[in-house]
Structure 1
Amino acid sequence: MPALPKPMSAALAVLAAVSLWPGSAHASAAALRFGYESGTRTSGHAELGVNACCPHSIQVDDLPRTGKYAIRSHLKYGDAAVAGGTRAESHTMDIESSHFRTGKTVYYGFSIYLASSWQNDSREDILFQWKPWRDKCEADKAPSAFLSVQPSGKWRLRVNSDGNACSTPESVRKVSFDLAEVKPGQWHDFVFRFRWSHDSKGGIDGWHQTHKSPGWRKVVTATGPNTFNDDATTQGYLKWGVYKPAWNTGPTDVESRTVFHDNIAVGTTFGEVDPTAG
């Protein structure tokens, strides 16, 4: 009988799992993907919605992560408010296969490009959101999570949760994770695994790379609540583009923001949502 290999130490086993798992995942078709290869801002999904005040807000552009096209979101200070805020965003409100709630485990992948002319601002820019509807007993509802560019020049994942059946601004638990340095002039690739839960069963894993420095690096591992204690009819959906909360009340150091998104995907494995797979 051939000799059995020596067992790997626990520490090495953990290291191997973190280092090799993303790279060893096989690409396959995502449950839902927006690659914009149709050349339209709905990416071939008629139900994909937009929150756009103006013709310049949401446009297909030939600066892709892969393929031929990506979506460009452009926001100017002074643009009319849409859906209660200063934003230029696409959303999956009417696409059921994108919806999430407590008890689901979902992988998300996407790529974001910031032009080389991007300048740090005194206030954050929110570029991707996981947004639940509010319950009937709630006046409003924060996103379960959102990805932003911070004045510090960092990518930050903010996570909001509440175990109460009716959430209020005072009852929301807020946790933030700085993920990586913002590098203008590069495509930033992200994959997140959310184990959605309003209690201790929740968990998040996240990976990041840039197209100029390929090689997935794990940037967040967290356990604990990451969404809201919603009623049985309430779910969440996705939003991507630019949302500038500070511009709801006044100017900041910059007067416009332009960002590109490509290969937004929802699935059940890393390989399904890998944004570099196109």
Structure 2
Amino acid sequence: MRILIFFIFISTYGSGFAQSANGKKGPVFKEGFENAADFLKGWYFVEYGLKDNISQVTKPVRAGQHAAKIQLKQDDPESNVGNKRSELVYNVSNNESGIDSTLRWYAFSNYFPKTYTTDDAEEIVAQWHDKSPECSASPTLAIEIKANRFRARIRYSTGNYCSNRESIVERSFDLGPVTKSKWNDWLVYYLPRTDSTGIVRIWKNRKLLLEYSGPAQYIGSWFPYFKVGLYKWSWMPDWKGTPSTTTSRSYYLDEVRIGRDSTGMRIRPKAK
């Protein structure tokens, strides 16, 4: 895989809210989907109903020679972990000690074709999910699409979320329209805290869209793990919320970066 390292403009992304625990800067995980033998090597887990729902393609690409095509259809079988999803998972473990709680920065690029139609039933394209041996809930941070607009969802709790679901608080933030037929470069800084010291910063194409300070984690949860792809729960037979008006979704993903500081997180200026 080609390694692309770029200078970070301090005035745009900040000086880095967190530094690497061992003093070494730069991403701890880079994925450009270039590996011919196993283009998904390095991810902790892959969640899909059909293996072909996540495939390697040669165009469009953000950098290098390949990208990943993320697909999902309403009539696909449920994924290997349940529900309608095609997602790549990073930094998850059944033991709290196996989770890297020093991660702060996440970068990725996505490309939505013109055929990505408007739907009032939302879907998730990136999420930071809670983890507990006792329960599970909706992600504490997610980037979603609803009615042709991006939005961020932040969730936290004022009590232990496993024993008191009524303590969960949900906030939604509009991130603007879904831009199609071009690459969107995302950069996220996420400091999951249950009190006022929590931080969420979201940039798209080097523009700061969300600057949030406050609780951004469930009380009782381990450090959240990262998932990117597609999750469309409204396609489940028992869904009683806003009905979906589409039966198929597909888009492209490239240049995933995860790190403890902001070094090397900026995507190159021009896309193919």
Q: Could you state the TM-score of these two structures normalised by the residue count of structure 1?
A: 0.78
- Counterparts of 1:130-145 in structure 2, within 5 Å, are 130-136=128-134, 138=135, 140-145=136-141
Matched, 1:92 2:83: no
Instruction: Give me the whole-angstrom Cα distance separating, in 2, the residues matched to 1:71 and 1:122.
Output: 26
Matched, 1:22 2:13: yes
Please report how far the alpha carbon of residue 117 of structure 1 lies from its aligned counterpart in structure 2 after TM superposition. Answer: 1.6
Instruction: Give me the whole-angstrom Cα distance separating, in 1, the residues matched to 2:250 and 2:37.
Output: 18
SS at 1:271 equivalent:
coil
Please report how far the alpha carbon of residue 132 of structure 1 lies from its aligned counterpart in structure 2 after TM superposition. Answer: 1.9
Instruction: Give me the whole-angstrom Cα distance separating, in 2, the residues matched to 1:107 and 1:98.
Output: 19
Please report how far the alpha carbon of residue 125 of structure 1 lies from its aligned counterpart in structure 2 after TM superposition. Answer: 1.6
Matched, 1:64 2:55: no
SS at 1:272 equivalent:
coil
Counterpart in 2 of 1:225?
215
Counterpart in 2 of 1:259?
251
CA-based RMSD of the aligned residues comes to 2.8
Which of these residues, 204, 208, 223, is aligned with residue 208 of structure 1? 204
Matched, 1:242 2:234: no
After the TM superposition, which of the residue ranges 222-231 and 239-248 deviates more from structure 2? 222-231
- Cα distance 1:162–1:36, how it changes in 2: closer, same or farther (>3 A)? same
Please report how far the alpha carbon of residue 169 of structure 1 lies from its aligned counterpart in structure 2 after TM superposition. Answer: 3.6
Matched, 1:31 2:28: yes
Please report how far the alpha carbon of residue 105 of structure 1 lies from its aligned counterpart in structure 2 after TM superposition. Answer: 6.2
- Counterparts of 1:43-54 in structure 2, within 5 Å, are 43-45=40-42, 47-54=43-50
Which of these residues, 101, 113, 127, is aligned with residue 129 of structure 1? 127
Please report how far the alpha carbon of residue 272 of structure 1 lies from its aligned counterpart in structure 2 after TM superposition. Answer: 2.5
Quote the sequence identity (%): 22
Please report how far the alpha carbon of residue 256 of structure 1 lies from its aligned counterpart in structure 2 after TM superposition. Answer: 0.3
Counterpart in 2 of 1:160?
155
Please report how far the alpha carbon of residue 275 of structure 1 lies from its aligned counterpart in structure 2 after TM superposition. Answer: 3.3
Q: Deviations over 1:110-148 (max 9, x none)?
A: 111111221101211211111121342x3x322111111
Counterpart of 1:48 in structure 2: which amino acid? Y
Counterpart of 1:161 in structure 2: which amino acid? Y
Decide whether the 8 Å contact of 1:42 with 1:48 is kept in 2.
no
- Cα distance 1:85–1:244, how it changes in 2: closer, same or farther (>3 A)? same
Instruction: Give me the whole-angstrom Cα distance separating, in 2, the residues matched to 1:97 and 1:111.
Output: 30
Please report how far the alpha carbon of residue 84 of structure 1 lies from its aligned counterpart in structure 2 after TM superposition. Answer: 2.3
Decide whether the 8 Å contact of 1:22 with 1:271 is kept in 2.
no
Matched, 1:147 2:137: no
Instruction: Give me the whole-angstrom Cα distance separating, in 1, the residues matched to 2:182 and 2:37.
Output: 23
Larger helix share, 1 or 2: 1
- Cα distance 1:273–1:97, how it changes in 2: closer, same or farther (>3 A)? farther
Q: Deviations over 1:158-204 (max 9, x none)?
A: 01111323434422110111112211111111111112201111011
Instruction: Give me the whole-angstrom Cα distance separating, in 2, the residues matched to 1:197 and 1:24.
Output: 20
Q: Which has the larger radius of gyration?
A: 1
SS at 1:56 equivalent:
helix
- Cα distance 1:242–1:76, how it changes in 2: closer, same or farther (>3 A)? same
Q: Could you state the TM-score of these two structures normalised by the residue count of structure 2?
A: 0.80
Identify unmatched segments of 5+ residues in structure 2. Answer: 1-8, 17-24
SS at 2:166 equivalent:
coil
